[in-house]
Amino acid sequence: MKSVLLLVLSFCSYRTGGSRVWGDRYFNRSSPGGLQLDLDLDLDLDLDLDLDLSVVFRRVDPRFLSVTIDSSLAAQERFMLLLGSQKIKFLAEALSPAFLRFGGTRQDFMVFTPQRSRQEQQKVELAADESCDAMQLPWWLEQQLKQDWVQQQQILMTEELQRKYHRIQFSELTVDLLHSFSICAGFDLIFGLNALLRTSDNSWNSSNARTLLQYCESRRYSMSWELGNEPNSYEKKAGIRVDGYQLGLDFTRLRKIMSESTLYRDTGLYGPDVGQPRDHRTDIMKGFLQSGAKAIDACTWHHYYVNGRDTSLEDFLDPDVLDSLALKINEVLEMIKLESPGKSMWLGETSSAYGGGAVGLSDTFVAGFMWLDKLGLGAKLGLDVVMRQVLVGSGSYHLIDEDLNPLPDYWLSVLYKRLVGPEVLKIQAFSNFGRSKRVRVYLHCANKKSYSSGAVVLISMNLSKKPARISLPALASSSTVDAFVLQSDQPGEEGLYSRWVKLNGAVLKLVDDKTFPDLGGVRLPPAEHLQLPAYSLAFFVLVDAKAAACR
Ligand SMILES: *[C@@H]1O[C@H](CO)[C@@H](O)[C@H](O)[C@H]1NC(C)=O
Ligand SMILES: *[C@@H]1O[C@H](CO)[C@@H](O)[C@H](O)[C@H]1NC(C)=O
């Protein structure tokens, strides 16, 4: 059993003060409200779990796992029609509730250019059938767009490498398609406005945004807003320098415009979508908060672990790389605490690797470790929303591939949505060498839509080269466990590069364009041994945990 991590659930129960708690013969009180669990020591690596089922430690937004569509999809507007695909809509729906952020580098080159006259507009309104099934993309057009997208991706990539961005004109079509897609999927749309439209005194020229807001208001589109994408690199992208303080003033101006609209008076505004804080990016964030904090509902920044063109499989499994997120989160938290205490913090755009992702890694099974760990760590440390770059479209970090088939991170996301509730509980794994880095665990209340109150879900992953054994002792004596173990369809290291994933041994594949495979767990009776195999990601729902925090 050397190379297999055993999550051994031994089900003896203790009673303290009348309530059942986690514990076994080794249990002793460690910290107030917490339980220290010591474990059998006969294997190389021994793990203790320190956890607390009595209180909710943090609560994230119910839309915590959210997604993006990169604005590059609109570089040629006809590609936006892909959002009319029944299959994408079906796949998206399984990820709701969520935000859908439409933004990215191209957003700061996009100009709203209405095409329809007033009369035409009225015709469209009459013809518009709000029913989601009625809005169908003909199959032949879908085929054509998927084919053409391959070449379009090349064009976009070249543009990015040369840092030469063309002005993009978009019409009502882009907004209409985004809005109807969001409604059908159950997403809350966030539209990223162009902040690079500047006046001669280098303040934001809001005139185009006004026109767009007026159009959206005329259609009664409920949506929220952002302004600008990664302002820290405006100089590189466009030869324009905008400091944080000025950007904050621009946001204040946008907030004022919104407040004059009956529809957008109370809707969200998020920013500044600054790249991962370091060097002068930190100054941008600071300056921005000083002048603009009052205008925003959440402070957003972007996070990628590695450079997509310069990374390896090892990085994707490296606990130090995964832990680097913690440093960044704490840095931004400090800044927010100083400049705008209590402001909600989001990852406004995030994925494994920047530069479009890492080819052959960001779209394969191994990407799941970065994704699941980001969700676990982010919820624990202070993020309220995490927006995954991208749902569909640009790069290799998509959840749905160019053929509109789900990739491993898509399945992981669907399971996360179904199983994990917004309440974060305290848990930590310690080995005899200190905090365990290679076996990573997180604990939430189970999603109350799927499980009855009191249930918790243990999120765990095995990055360990050493065999380890966790005895996760006693739950309520009657408790059962629903296990959802994700592995590659191929064994060993080769399998990490696979675009297919198995759930409890069965490869996940759509039955047809609107039917999921079985996504149920394996129900294990009490006292069963749970195995967490090599290179695996797992959700263990402790159905009868009776956690006071999850009542
Ligand atoms: C975890 O995965 C490693 C591969 O990194 C494997 O060698 C090991 O057996 C697994 N450990 C456990 C405890 O399952
Ligand atoms: C803002 O942009 C519009 C064109 O979109 C232009 O007509 C107007 O003069 C600009 N305003 C300023 C103050 O630069």
Tens of pLDDT, residues 423-432: 999 998 777 6
Q: Is residue 375 part of a domain?
A: yes
Q: Is residue 24 part of a domain?
A: no
Q: Is residue 30 part of a domain?
A: no
Residues 159 and 171 in one domain: yes
According to DSSP, the residues that pair with 47 across neighbouring strands are 431, 470
Q: Is residue 32 part of a domain?
A: no
- Mean pLDDT across the chain, nearest whole number? 87
Q: With CA atoms as reference, report the closest residue to 380 among 336, 437, 323, 424.
A: 424
Write down the pLDDT at residue 126.
Answer: 55
Q: Which of 390, 422, 454 is the last residue of a domain?
A: 422
Q: Which of 405, 422, 439 is the last residue of a domain?
A: 422
Mean pLDDT of 98-120: 93
Q: Which of 422, 440, 458 is the last residue of a domain?
A: 422
Residue nearest to atom 10 of ligand 1 (CA): 534
> 491 CA distance to ligand 1 centroid (A)?
12
Report d(CA 323, CA 303) in Å as an integer. 13
Residue nearest to atom 9 of ligand 1 (CA): 3
Residues 258 and 227 in one domain: yes
Write down the pLDDT at residue 534.
Answer: 83
Residues 403 and 491 in one domain: no
Write down the pLDDT at residue 33.
Answer: 30
Contact 439, 39 (CB under 8 A): no
Q: Which residues contact 91 (CB under 8 A, 6 or more apart)?
A: 400, 404, 406, 410
SS3 128: coil
Residues 416 and 441 in one domain: no
Report d(CA 209, CA 108) in Å as an integer. 12
Q: Is residue 21 part of a domain?
A: no
Write down the pLDDT at residue 469.
Answer: 59
Q: Is residue 469 part of a domain?
A: yes
Of residues 40 and 49, the one with the higher pLDDT is: 49
Of residues 21 and 385, the one with the higher pLDDT is: 385
Testing ligand 1's pocket by substitution, the residue of 464, 470, 494 carrying the most ligand atoms inside 8 A of its CB is 464
Contact 353, 305 (CB under 8 A): yes
Report d(CA 270, CA 385) in Å as an integer. 11
Question: For residue 225, what is the domain's CATH number?
Answer: 3.20.20.80
Testing ligand 2's pocket by substitution, the residue of 112, 198, 207 carrying the most ligand atoms inside 8 A of its CB is 207
> Percentage of residues in the chain with pLDDT exceeding 70?
85
The number of domains in the chain is 2
Angle, alpha carbons 177-182-183 (nearest 5°)? 100
Q: Which residues contact 452 (CB under 8 A, 6 or more apart)?
A: 543
Residues 286 and 383 in one domain: yes
Domain holding 282, by residue range, is 65-422
Q: Is 230 a catalytic residue?
A: yes
Residues 259 and 137 in one domain: yes
Question: For residue 452, what is the domain's CATH number?
Answer: 2.60.40.1180
Please report which confidence band the pLDDT of residue 41 belongs to, taking 50, 70 and 90 as the band edges: very low
Q: Is 142 a catalytic residue?
A: no
Contact 376, 326 (CB under 8 A): no
Q: Is residue 10 part of a domain?
A: no
Lowest-confidence region among 209-218, 221-230, 290-299, 421-430: 421-430
Tens of pLDDT, residues 487-539: 999 988 899 999 999 999 999 999 999 999 999 999 987 655 566 788 999 99
What is the number of other CB atoms lying within 10 angstroms of the CB of residue 419?
23
Q: Which ligand is nearest to the CA of 460?
A: 1
Q: Is residue 334 part of a domain?
A: yes
Is the pLDDT at 390 greater than 80? The verdict is: yes
Report d(CA 426, CA 448) in Å as an integer. 19
Read off the tokens for 424: 């974060």
Please report which confidence band the pLDDT of residue 136 belongs to, taking 50, 70 and 90 as the band edges: confident
Residues 368 and 458 in one domain: no
Tens of pLDDT, residues 459-469: 999 887 555 55
> Percentage of residues in the chain with pLDDT exceeding 90?
75
Residue nearest to atom 4 of ligand 1 (CA): 465
Mean pLDDT of 378-387: 98
Write down the pLDDT at residue 386.
Answer: 99
Residues 484 and 518 in one domain: yes
Burial, 129: exposed, middle or buried (Cβ in 10 Å; 0-12, 13-18, 19+)? exposed
According to DSSP, the residues that pair with 443 across neighbouring strands are 425, 458
- φ, ψ (nearest 5 deg) of residue 245: -60, -45
Please report which confidence band the pLDDT of residue 16 belongs to, taking 50, 70 and 90 as the band edges: very low
Residues 187 and 233 in one domain: yes
Write down the pLDDT at residue 243.
Answer: 96
Residues 373 and 453 in one domain: no
Question: Of the listed 349, 423, 493, 528, which one is catalytic?
Answer: 349
